[in-house]
C-alpha cells in the first residue's frame, strides 16, 4: 500500500469492511480511528479488528462490548442535531400520536398494542395497520419520510413516540431521533434508559406498555405541559447537543496530522451530512 503524502484527514467510507490485512497496513502508517454508529450491532464485523484503531467512537454509553473485542480506547459521542435544519415549524397538529421509523419486532409489539398511531416507515404490514384503527380514523401507515417531510411530521404531531429499540436500550445510547425531535421542539415519549434522564431529564419515559398508554392519555389532555417540555427540550438540545458550526467544519477538513477513519456499514443508513456532523463532534476528543 502506498503511503499518502498528506496531512489532511482521510475519510474512508465503505459498504463492506476493509480486510484485516488492509487495516493492519493502515494502522502501521497512520493513526486510525473507527467511527461506529451501530452501537452493539454486527459483532462479527468487529471481532479481531478493533486492535488496529487508536480509538473507537460510539454513541453507546456502555463500553465493555468494545473492550472485550479488543478496543484500546472507547469514547462516547452522543448523537445530536443540526440546529440549522431541525427547527420548530408552526403547523397544525394533525396527528395525535405518530412513530417514524423502520419496523422490527419490538417496535411492532408496541404499535400493535396502541390505537390510532400514525406510522411512517418501511417494512410495516400495511394491510394489517390500515384496518387496525377501529375508530374510523383512516389510514395508519405511510411510507418513510426524510428531510423536510420528516421535520414536518414531527411538527404536526402532538406526541412523537421514540421507540428506542433493543440495541439502544442495551447500549444505553439514545437514538438520533431523540435529539432531532427535541431540536424541532417536538414532544416525545421514550423508552426508559438511564442516558435519557441525563440528556433530557424532563422528557417522559416508560418501562411498560401500560405506562406508555397512561402517559399518552395524560399528555394528549395537557397541551400546556407538552409545550413546557418541548421548549425545555429544544433549549437543552441547542445548548448541549448542537452538531456543528462553520469553524468545526474547518476542523474536519484541516486536521494537523493524517487520520484514516473507516466507517463500517454506517454509510448505508446515514446521509453524508449526518456522518460529517457526527465526525465533527467526535474529532474534538482527538485534537
Strand partners, 138: none
How would you classify residue 85: left for phi > 0, otherwise alpha for psi between -120 and 50, otherwise beta? Answer: alpha
CB atoms within 10 A of CB 226: 20
Residues 131 and 142 in one domain: yes
With b for 16 or more beta-carbon neighbours within 10 A and e for fewer, the 168-185 pattern comes to: bbebbbbbbbbbbbbbbb
With b for 16 or more beta-carbon neighbours within 10 A and e for fewer, the 186-215 pattern comes to: bbbbbbebebbeebbeebbbbeeeeebeeb
DSSP labels, 138-171: ---EE----HHHHHHHHHTEEEEEE---HHHHHH
Within a domain: 28: yes
Residues 119 and 252 in one domain: no
Residues 105 and 166 in one domain: yes
Residues 227 and 277 in one domain: no
- Give the pLDDT of residue 47: 80
- Give the pLDDT of residue 169: 59
Identify the domain containing residue 19 by its residue range: 9-79+243-283
229: enclosing H helix or E strand: helix 223-240
Residues 255 and 164 in one domain: no
Residues 231 and 103 in one domain: yes
Residues 204 and 278 in one domain: no
Residues 231 and 255 in one domain: no
Within a domain: 148: yes
pTM comes to 0.74
- Give the pLDDT of residue 257: 33
Give the count of domains, the chain: 2
- Give the pLDDT of residue 168: 62
Within a domain: 144: yes
- Reading the chain (287 residues) residue by residue, the pLDDT tens digits are 444 444 334 444 444 567 788 878 877 877 788 877 665 666 777 788 888 888 888 878 788 888 988 899 988 877 888 888 999 999 999 999 999 998 888 889 999 899 889 999 988 876 666 555 544 445 688 999 999 999 999 999 999 999 986 666 565 678 889 999 999 999 999 988 888 888 899 999 999 999 999 999 999 999 999 999 999 999 999 998 887 543 333 233 333 333 333 333 333 344 545 555 555 555 555 55
For position 211, which CATH number holds?
3.40.50.2000
Residues 195 and 233 in one domain: yes
Residues 249 and 232 in one domain: no
For position 23, which CATH number holds?
3.40.50
Within a domain: 86: no
Closest CA to 97 of 83, 111, 79: 111
Within a domain: 20: yes
DSSP labels, 159-227: EEEE---HHHHHHT---HHHHHHHHTT--EEEE--HHHHHH-TTS-EESSHHHHHHHHHHHHT-HHHHH
CB atoms within 10 A of CB 287: 10
Amino acid at each position: 500500500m502506498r503511503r499518502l503524502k498528506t496531512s489532511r484527514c482521510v475519510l474512508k467510507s465503505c459498504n463492506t469492511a476493509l480486510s484485516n490485512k488492509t487495516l493492519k497496513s493502515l494502522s502501521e502508517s497512520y493513526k486510525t480511528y473507527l467511527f461506529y454508529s451501530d452501537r452493539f450491532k454486527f459483532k462479527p464485523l468487529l471481532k479481531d479488528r478493533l486492535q488496529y484503531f487508536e480509538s473507537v467512537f460510539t454513541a453507546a454509553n456502555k463500553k465493555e462490548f468494545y473492550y472485550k473485542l479488543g478496543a484500546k480506547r472507547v469514547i462516547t459521542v452522543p448523537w445530536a442535531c443540526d440546529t440549522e435544519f431541525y427547527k420548530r415549524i408552526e403547523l397544525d397538529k394533525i396527528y395525535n400520536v405518530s412513530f417514524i421509523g423502520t419496523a422490527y419486532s419490538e417496535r411492532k409489539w408496541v404499535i400493535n398494542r396502541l390505537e390510532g398511531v400514525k406510522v411512517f416507515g418501511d417494512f410495516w404490514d400495511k394491510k394489517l395497520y390500515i384496518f387496525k384503527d377501529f375508530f374510523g380514523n383512516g389510514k395508519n401507515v405511510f411510507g418513510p419520510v426524510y428531510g423536510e417531510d420528516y421535520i414536518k411530521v414531527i411538527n404536526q404531531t402532538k406526541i412523537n413516540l421514540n421507540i428506542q429499540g433493543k440495541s439502544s436500550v442495551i447500549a444505553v445510547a439514545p437514538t438520533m431521533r431523540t435529539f432531532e425531535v427535541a431540536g424541532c421542539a417536538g414532544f416525545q415519549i421514550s423508552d426508559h434508559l438511564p442516558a435519557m434522564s441525563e440528556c433530557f431529564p424532563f422528557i417522559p419515559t416508560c418501562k411498560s406498555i401500560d405506562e406508555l398508554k397512561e402517559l399518552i392519555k395524560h399528555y394528549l389532555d395537557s397541551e400546556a405541559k407538552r409545550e413546557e417540555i418541548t421548549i425545555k427540550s429544544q433549549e437543552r438540545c441547542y445548548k448541549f447537543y448542537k452538531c456543528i458550526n462553520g469553524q468545526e467544519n474547518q476542523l474536519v477538513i484541516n486536521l494537523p496530522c493524517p487520520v484514516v477513519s473507516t466507517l463500517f456499514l454506517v454509510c448505508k443508513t446515514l446521509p453524508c451530512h449526518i456522518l460529517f456532523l457526527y465526525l465533527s463532534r467526535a474529532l474534538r476528543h482527538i485534537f
